[in-house]
Amino acid sequence: MDFTFTEEQQMLLDTTRRFVAKDYGFEARRQIKEKSADGFSREIWQGLADIGLLSLNVPEADGGLGGSAIDNMLAMNAVGEGLLLEPYLACAVLATKTLALLGNDAQRAEWLPALAAGEKIVVLAHDEPKTRFDRLAIDTRSWPVGNGYLLTGHKCVVTHAGSADMLLITARIGKADETGPLAVFCVPVDAPGLDKTTYNTVDGVRASDVRLNQVFVPATALLDGGADSEAKIAEVLDFGLAAVCAEAVGALDKLLAATVEYARNRKQFGQPIGKFQALQHRMADMVLHIEQARSMSYLAAVRCTDTDAATRARAMSAAKVVIGQACRFVGQQAVQLHGGMGVTDELDVSHYFKRLMAIELQFGSTDQHLEQYAAQLA
Amino acid sequence: MDLNFTPEELAFRQEVREFVASSLPPDIQHKVLNGLILQSDDYIRWQKILHAKGWGGASWRKDFGGPGWSATQQYIFEEECAAAGAPRTIPFGLKMVAPVIMQYGSPAQQERFLPKILAAEEWWCQGYSEPGAGSDLASVKTRAVREGDHYVVNGQKTWTTQGQYADWIFCLVRTDTEAKSQRGISFILIDMKTPGITVRPIITMDGAHEVNEVWFEDVRVPVENLVGEENAGWTYAKFLLGHERTNIAGIGIAKREIARLKRIASLETKNRKPLIEDPMFASRIAQIEIDLTALEITNLRVLSAEAERRAPGPEASILKIKGTEIQQAITEALVQAVGTYALPLRREAMAAGYQGDAVGPFYATPLAANYLNMRKLSIYGGSNEIQKNIISQMILGL
Ligand SMILES: Cc1cc2nc3c(=O)[nH]c(=O)nc-3n(C[C@H](O)[C@H](O)[C@H](O)COP(=O)(O)OP(=O)(O)OC[C@H]3O[C@@H](n4cnc5c(N)ncnc54)[C@H](O)[C@@H]3O)c2cc1C
């Protein structure tokens, strides 16, 4: 048993943290959110590329750092602490992982170095309105025509699709009534028949609903996942699930620290509110939730690449349940203990709260994972 | 023991239901039932309709122009209004300052202010909280110094709900800095048009402008706007804080929102079946509904124990805590019901008549904002922690 990080891993965490602390104060973040065309900063994005973060999930064979899920966990801790608006999860984790796992040589050569360098943004568009409770129940269809495929379907709440150069669209091969294998296609954002509606989400980033109406892509657009495509997509999604668990831990740590600090300083009835035992116990409960969440985020990082399907599924669901409950409890208590200040847009607390609310709904809700876990008890 | 309403009460319920059904403007109802944004005018229009019927001040005595209803009748009225999708009555005038003016105000004040509150001709806001005085309200610092026949007011109020619409603000101000904190406070009424008042918006996490900071710089208030006696304001403040009890639990609103939750859960699907048939989600709704049933009976017990109108006891704290917890639980369940489509936060799409792009089902649009906004329920009006302190002190004697 070993819960220590290697020297390299500690360095990765420190570098990322330092970067976030230096260029990503809460005011700077607000400016970025309100002023930039993408809702995030291209400059910061470049900065993340410069410190190597964008090549973390790019395999060494493709010129990247070939980091592990544990490395990614540490990076995501820092992303959560800084409440980054940049498409780290969408592009550097999910899309990069998809290309690394499913792409053929030509596709990898075309995209991975550009992603690692921060030159291109690609996002994975997977979720659909009806798939909320079953991530493999994809309705988007693709069928061969001439020297390519036509795609039709509806992807919802695709984070950062509005800033992407290319979308990775999951689709089932076959017409509407057939359930063929799941596959991934590279689709340029300006493809005829592709329609995007872009909006802000609760956690302050941009997302889009993407509708595909007989969008044509050449045969070379199909990511060559082979017979294992579905399993590989599941692995990408579990990698993402582990990543948001780690992001949550970063945000939870920040919220607890902010709350304790506030309780030390805010005086009512002639004393710091942190002296009230009722509030002390509440903050102690926050600690319990966070430490349980941290443990489960370790478990998720270790198990998300496990080849045994049942072991992996159980661990992922357990992690998401504990993390989801922590997100809700700690988030709500942080707001509550800040009193009126907690509900304001001005304070960072409400923004962490909203990111945690979103994390609870991403990669399957708490209820859903509890149910999935329960279904495997026997 | 009889858990049923009397025939008279049932007849009264029927009368209210019919009136609301025929008088509530459909456009306002549409907004309320779908969680869309209400304008100040929506509240005013509804209040004027109620006033024309003689029902403007549901909790008011007959001699002040109210219908003189019993506490149970008021409860039934609120419940019917909420269920039908009527907006909440604006509490600051009708339910907060008016009872204080009735009880402690001069006849001149009663004549000047009460009719305009009833007719929705003047909008009030509450100036209690300050940056340094929230839960510990007795530590207010805003100063009022007597100069001839005026008080000169300096200081800052905060969290002033709907202060941007207000014609008047009722304030707790410090008139004696020597006295112990509760003693040197006075209760005064200030015209928001008086020079020296600045209102600045505070934006909440759902993107709404609902609360404000209010600054007073050498604001001259005529002494006749003092309510009751100088330095006795704390008594009136406490009277006010505890006064509105029939609706503190928000039973009617909770029932309406549970109905919405069920409606949405039958439209959403899980594994291609209606979500409401999913045992896990169904039991979540069931739990909320059961909690609400318990609260409803507790609320009715409190009402029937109240033979005569008096400032409420510590039971009000029970109603407040459970009522706000249930309302918050409903907003959580609503978010869960629509899953990923709770994530878009689009205030523009929450305006009635919005014609822009649709994202997700119509009913999903306001749910995230509503969940965020309702975090306030356990904070304002005496936070739930403060209510628990009251329970342990007043009910348990600890
Ligand atoms: C949306 C909104 C609208 C509002 N509208 C109005 C309005 O119109 N007019 C107005 O005057 N005010 C209004 N308020 C203010 C509201 O009444 C205060 O926010 C509330 O009283 C809490 O005060 P505070 O924010 O200063 O928090 P604090 O008093 O600083 O409390 C911070 C935390 O400490 C806890 N705490 C404090 N003291 C104790 C204790 N002794 N024991 C245990 N826990 C304790 C609190 O419960 C809270 O969790 C509004 C507030 C909000 C959020």
Contacts of residue A371 in chain B, CB cutoff 8 Å?
Answer: 280
Cβ pair A186, A170 in contact under 8 A? no
Judge if B124-231 and B248-396 fold alike in CATH terms: no
Average pLDDT score over residue span B87-99: 92
**Which residue's entry shows tokens 């007849």?**
B11
Give the integer Cα–Cα distance in Å for B312 and B59: 14
Please determine, for residue B307, whether its predicted confidence score (pLDDT) is greater than 60: no
Average pLDDT score over residue span B323-350: 96
**Which amino acid, one-letter code, is at A235?**
E
Please determine, for residue B379, whether its predicted confidence score (pLDDT) is greater than 70: yes
A265, A337, A343, A361: best to mutate for the B interface, most B CBs within 10 A = A343
Average pLDDT score over residue span A143-157: 95
Average pLDDT score over residue span A160-171: 97
Give the integer Cα–Cα distance in Å for B319 and B305: 14
Please determine, for residue B312, whether its predicted confidence score (pLDDT) is greater than 70: no
For domain B124-231, which CATH number applies: 1.25.40.10, 3.40.50.620, 3.40.190.10, 2.40.110.10?
A: 2.40.110.10
Cβ pair B75, B246 in contact under 8 A? yes
Of the candidate ranges A75-89, A287-301, A327-341, B176-190, the one whose mean pLDDT is the lowest: B176-190
Antiparallel, parallel or unpaired: β B150-157 and B143-147: antiparallel
- Taking the CA of residue B203 and the nearest CA in chain A, the distance in Å comes to 6
Contacts of residue A199 in chain B, CB cutoff 8 Å?
Answer: 344, 346, 357, 359
Nearest CA in chain B to A348: B205
- On average, the pLDDT of chain B sits at 94
Higher pLDDT, A3 or B217: B217
**Which amino acid, one-letter code, is at B293?**
T
Element containing residue A373 per DSSP (H, E): helix A366-375
- Number of helices (H) and strands (E) in chain B: give both, helices first: 13, 10
Task: Please give the pLDDT value at position B311.
Answer: 52
Burial of A110 (0-12, 13-18, 19+ CB in 10 A): middle
CA triplet B267, B269, B273: central angle to 5 degrees? 110
CB contacts < 8 A, A to B, total 122
Nearest to residue B90, comparing CAs of B143, B153, B41? B41
Give the integer Cα–Cα distance in Å for A188 and A165: 7
Please determine, for residue B309, whether its predicted confidence score (pLDDT) is greater than 60: no
| Contact check, Cβ <8 Å, A199/B346 | yes
Domain ranges of chain B: 7-89, 124-231, 248-396
Please determine, for residue B11, whether its predicted confidence score (pLDDT) is greater than 60: yes
Picking from A343, A362, A365, the nearest residue to B204 by CB comes out as: A343
- Structural domains in chain A plus CATH codes: 7-120 (1.10.540.10), 124-223 (2.40.110.10), 229-376 (1.20.140.10)
Average pLDDT score over residue span B138-159: 97
Residue A41 φ/ψ region, left for φ over 0, alpha for ψ in the -120 to 50 degree band, beta for the rest: beta
Report the range out of A24-28, B180-184, B221-225 with the highest average pLDDT: B221-225
**Which residue's entry shows tokens 């959403």?**
B268
Cβ pair B281, B275 in contact under 8 A? yes
**Contacts by residues B132-135 (CB-CB < 8 Å, ≥ 24 positions apart):** B132/A267, B134/A268, B134/A339, B134/A340, B134/B159, B135/A268, B135/A269, B135/A339, B135/B382, B135/B383, B135/B385, B135/B386
CATH assignment, B248-396: 1.20.140.10
Task: Please give the pLDDT value at position A59.
Answer: 97
Give the integer Cα–Cα distance in Å for B20 and B303: 23
Cβ pair B382, B241 in contact under 8 A? yes
Cβ pair B206, B369 in contact under 8 A? yes
Q: What are phi and psi of B341, to 5 degrees?
A: -75, 0
Task: Please give the pLDDT value at position B2.
Answer: 79
Task: Say yes or no: CB of residue B162 within 6 Å of ligand 1.
Answer: no
Give the integer Cα–Cα distance in Å for B210 and B92: 14
Give the integer Cα–Cα distance in Å for B106 and B70: 25
Give the integer Cα–Cα distance in Å for A95 and B194: 59
B346 Cβ contact list (under 8 Å, min separation 6) = A199, A200, B359, B365
Distance between Cα A154 and ligand 1 center (Å): 44
A327 Cβ contact list (under 8 Å, min separation 6) = A248, A252, A293, A356, A357, A359, A360
Contacts of residue A358 in chain B, CB cutoff 8 Å?
Answer: 343
Cβ pair A34, A70 in contact under 8 A? no
Residue percentage of chain B with pLDDT more than 70 = 97
Please determine, for residue B82, whether its predicted confidence score (pLDDT) is greater than 90: yes
Task: Please give the pLDDT value at position B308.
Answer: 52
B348 noted as active-site residue: no
Instruction: Give B196-244 pLDDT, tens digit per residue.
Output: 999 999 999 999 999 999 999 999 999 999 999 999 999 999 888 776 6
Nearest to residue A201, comparing CAs of B365, B311, B94, B6? B365
Using the atom order of ligand 1, give the atom closest to the CA of residue A266: 30
Task: Say yes or no: CB of residue B379 within 6 Å of ligand 1.
Answer: yes
Task: Please give the pLDDT value at position A107.
Answer: 96
Task: Please give the pLDDT value at position B302.
Answer: 86
Q: What b/e readout covers B254-291, taking b as 16+ CB neighbours within 10 angstroms?
A: bbbbbebbbebbeebbbeeeebbebeebeebbeebbee
Q: Give the HSE-up count for residue A374: Cα atoms under 13 Å, Cβ half-sphere.
A: 9
Residue percentage of chain A with pLDDT more than 70 = 99
Instruction: Report DSSP state, residue B300.
Output: H
**Which amino acid, one-letter code, is at B20?**
V
ipTM for the complex shown? 0.96
Antiparallel, parallel or unpaired: β A141-145 and A122-125: unpaired
Cβ pair A324, A369 in contact under 8 A? yes
Q: Which spans in B4-106 are helix H? A: 7-23, 26-34, 40-53, 71-84, 91, 98-104
Task: Please give the pLDDT value at position A178.
Answer: 72
| Contact check, Cβ <8 Å, B388/A132 | no
A230 three-class SS: helix
Please determine, for residue B245, whether its predicted confidence score (pLDDT) is greater than 80: no
Burial of B369 (0-12, 13-18, 19+ CB in 10 A): buried
- Supply B110's token pair: 């009663």
Task: Please give the pLDDT value at position B246.
Answer: 61
Probe target for ligand 1 pocket from A273, A336, A347, A350, with the most ligand atoms within 8 Å of CB: A273
Nearest to residue A162, comparing CAs of A129, A194, A119, A117? A194
Task: Please give the pLDDT value at position B180.
Answer: 82
Picking from B134, B340, B378, the nearest residue to A268 by CB comes out as: B134
Instruction: Report DSSP state, residue B38.
Output: P
